[in-house]
Amino acid sequence: MAGGWAMLPILICSAIAIAIILERFWTLRRGAVIPPGLTTQVREWARNRQLDPQHVETLRENSPLGEILAAALSVRLRSREIMKERVEDTGRHVVHRLERFLNTLGTIALISPLLGLLGTVFGLIRMFFAVMVSGVGDPLKMAGGIGEALVCTAAGLCVAIPAYFFHRYFRGLVVDYVVDMEKDVIVLMDELAAHSEAAITARKAPRPPTAVAAAGARETV
């Protein structure tokens, strides 16, 4: 309480920042966002024609990467352009969830020094009023105002510096995850496009004459 009333919003910001940091550490675990081996498993499903709706729905609820892969699989029978649009639309929603609370953390990093500065200003005002009332002969009153100002400044910086650090850290982590997910989705889309082209080629290939058609041709001759 040596910092005065301005310490209250600083402490509230500190509690919120700690809660966000802990929650983001848990949510943005790599194994939870990009499960190892998931893309390989989905490609095996595509090769073995096991992409039934139940598999796709389970994949969508698996992880952020699974949700994007499921978006590609849901339109796998359409053109690559439509598949790409669906992946991009789903990816925007996934990235928005990965960046959840980061704006709040950045705001805390921004306003905490301002709150500390506000407390500093009030502490200096208190000191000047004490000087006006009792003059400069009472150093205790002056020390109280100076102490309040310094405590608020230090508290604001102690909240802002870690909040800014973790805000930048989590932003970079999300960007890395997005790049890795894009690579996995491109690999799956290439796999699906290859299967689709092979199926189209097989349908367009000329069929060998049947036994009945061959017999008819011999009779005509």
With 70 as the cut, is the pLDDT of residue 77 above it? yes
* Whether pLDDT at 136 is above 60: no
What confidence score (pLDDT) does residue 221 get? 44
Q: pLDDT at position 163, please?
A: 95
Q: What is the pLDDT of residue 214?
A: 46
How many other CB atoms are found less than 10 A from the CB of residue 143? 12
Distance (Å, whole) CA 74 – CA 67: 10
Return the sign of the alpha-carbon dihedral for residues 133, 135, 137, 139: positive
Predicted confidence (pLDDT) per residue in 90-121, tens digit: 999 999 999 999 999 999 999 999 988 888 88
More confident residue, 85 or 216: 85
User: For 153, left (φ over 0), alpha (ψ -120 to 50), or beta?
Assistant: alpha
**CB atoms near residue 193 (< 10 Å):** 14
Give the type of residue at 202. A
Using alpha carbons, select from 78, 69, 161 the residue that is nearest to residue 116. 161
Which tokens in the block code for residue 103? Answer: 């704006």
Residue 139's pLDDT band (boundaries 50, 70, 90)?
low
Identify which has the larger pLDDT, 77 or 147.
77
CA–CA dist 50, 46 (Å, integer): 6
More confident call, 172 vs 151: 172
> d(Cα 50, Cα 66) in Å, to the nearest integer?
16
State in Å, rounded, how far the first CA of the chain is from the last one: 110
pLDDT at 198 over 80: no
pLDDT in tens, 35-65: 988 888 888 877 777 777 887 888 888 889 9
Residue with tokens 């509690």: 15
Section 124-129 average pLDDT:
74
Sign, CA torsion 126/132/134/140 = positive
The whole-chain average pLDDT of the chain stands at: 80
Among 7-11, 99-103, 168-172, the range scoring the smallest mean pLDDT is 7-11
